[in-house]
A and B are shown apart, each in its own frame.
Chain A
Amino acid sequence: EAQVTQNPRYLITVTGKKLTVTCSQNMNHEYMSWYRQDPGLGLRQIYYSMNVEVTDKGDVPEGYKVSRKEKRNFPLILESPSPNQTSLYFCASSERDSPVQIVQFFGPGTRLTVL
């Protein structure tokens, strides 16, 4: 089954304790991205990757790191989480059926609480 998977789905942690949220897709998509979703603010892009070893900042990259060592995986790293990073996180991958048309496939989400 074609899908984007994220782990963990739920995580409660404490301030400053490094964590990684994994994301994997089995659709051989080139593009992958991370979003956070907060009430009243909608989906905001954190980082995106247009290919292996190619990553770039989205709208809200502060406090996050990513890596793209393999095409299928795009982990999100919080080196020193803070309470303002409490949010619902989505990973997405994209197929590119033309130079300009990108359809996003989203993972199930990771609900992160930083105490």
Chain B
Amino acid sequence: SQKIEQNSEALNIQEGKTATLTCNYTNYSPAYLQWYRQDPGRGPVFLLLIRENEKEKRKERLKVTFDTTLKQSLFHITASQPADSATYLCALPPPGGSYIPTFGRGTSLIVHP
């Protein structure tokens, strides 16, 4: 079955540095991959979608890469700020059937001033 892996340990970085989060997946070749941000006690918010034929996608300070050979996506936040502190979730469409994405467990990012 499909498996989505995100680092369960929190990532601590200093303000101004680039944060890099990893999403690995197995047993599947998804047509796209998504990244969401979740603040404590709130619903996830969609950030970016990258398709299987795209290597890289950017939105302001965010950059996502998608390596279908490695079965991995990297999520970068450049010039990070304390306000970027949150949990970041990757999501993939399940193989067959429903198009509704399933989510990784997320990685907590803490940006220190």
The interface size of chain A toward B, counting residues with CB under 8 Å, comes to 30
CA A50 to CA B42, docked complex, whole Å: 24
Interface residue stretch chosen among A14-22, A38-46, A62-70, A77-85: A38-46
Report B-chain residues with C-beta under 8 Å of the C-beta of A108. 42-43
> Is B82 at the interface (CB under 8 A from chain A)?
no
The interface size of chain B toward A, counting residues with CB under 8 Å, comes to 26
> Which residues 22-67 of A have a CB within 8 angstroms of B?
31, 33, 35, 40-43, 45, 48, 50, 56, 59
Main SS at interface, chain A: strand
A92 with B31: in contact, given A31-B100, A102-B99 (CB under 8 Å)? Answer: no
Count A-B pairs with CB separation below 8 Å.
68
What would 28 A/B residue contacts be, using CB atoms closer than 8 Å?
A31-B99, A33-B100, A40-B8, A42-B105, A43-B89, A50-B98, A50-B99, A50-B100, A56-B97, A59-B102, A88-B41, A90-B44, A92-B43, A99-B99, A100-B31, A100-B93, A101-B49, A102-B93, A103-B34, A103-B49, A104-B46, A104-B100, A104-B101, A106-B43, A108-B42, A109-B41, A109-B42, A111-B41
| Additional 14 contacts, C-beta under 8 A, given A42-B104, A96-B99, A103-B34 | A40-B8, A50-B100, A56-B97, A90-B44, A94-B99, A100-B32, A100-B93, A101-B49, A103-B46, A104-B46, A106-B45, A107-B43, A108-B43, A109-B43
- Chain B residues with a Cβ under 8 A of chain A: 8, 31-32, 34, 36, 41-46, 49, 51, 89, 91, 93, 97-106
